Amino acid sequence: MKKVFRYMTRKSVLFLALQLASLQLFAQAELLKYADFESWITRDIKESALMGGKTKRLYEVGPEGKFDGAKPFFNQGGSPWANSNVYAKVCGIVKTNCSVFPDEHDGGKCVKLTSRIEKCKAIGIVNITVLAAGSMFTGTMVEPITGTSNPMSKINVGIPFTRKPKALQMDYKVYLPEEPNRIKETGFGKRKTVEGPDMCEVVCLLQKRWEDSKGNLYAKRVGTLRMRFDKSTDGWQEDKQFNIHYGDISKESWYRGWMGPVTGERTYYALNSQGENVPIHEEGWASADENPTHLILKFDSSYGGAYIGTPGATLWIDNVKMVY
Residue closest to 204 by CA, chosen among 90, 307, 289, 294: 294
Strands 40-46 and 55-61: antiparallel
Backbone angles phi, psi at 303, to 5 degrees: -110, 175
Nearest Cα neighbor of 316 from 259, 238, 258 is 238
d(CA 314, CA 300): 9
Work out the pLDDT band at 2, boundaries 50, 70, 90: very low
**Does domain 32-323 sit in CATH 3.40.50?**
no
Q: Where are the alpha helices (DSSP H) in the chain?
A: 2-28
Asked if 158 and 294 touch (Cβ cutoff 8 Å), the reply is: yes
pLDDT tens-digit readout, 110-137: 999 999 998 876 656 656 789 999 999 9
- Domain ranges, ordered by start, for the chain: 1-31, 32-323
Residue type, 30: E
Q: What is the pTM of this model?
A: 0.90
Indicate the DSSP class of residue 99.
-
* pLDDT given for residue 52 in this prediction: 86
Q: Determine the Cα–Cα distance for residues 197 and 229; give it in Å rounded to an integer.
A: 11
Q: How far apart are CA 194 and CA 187, in angstroms?
A: 16
Strands (E), 50-92: 55-61, 65-66, 81-83, 86-90
Out of 76-80, 171-175, 261-265, least confident range? 261-265
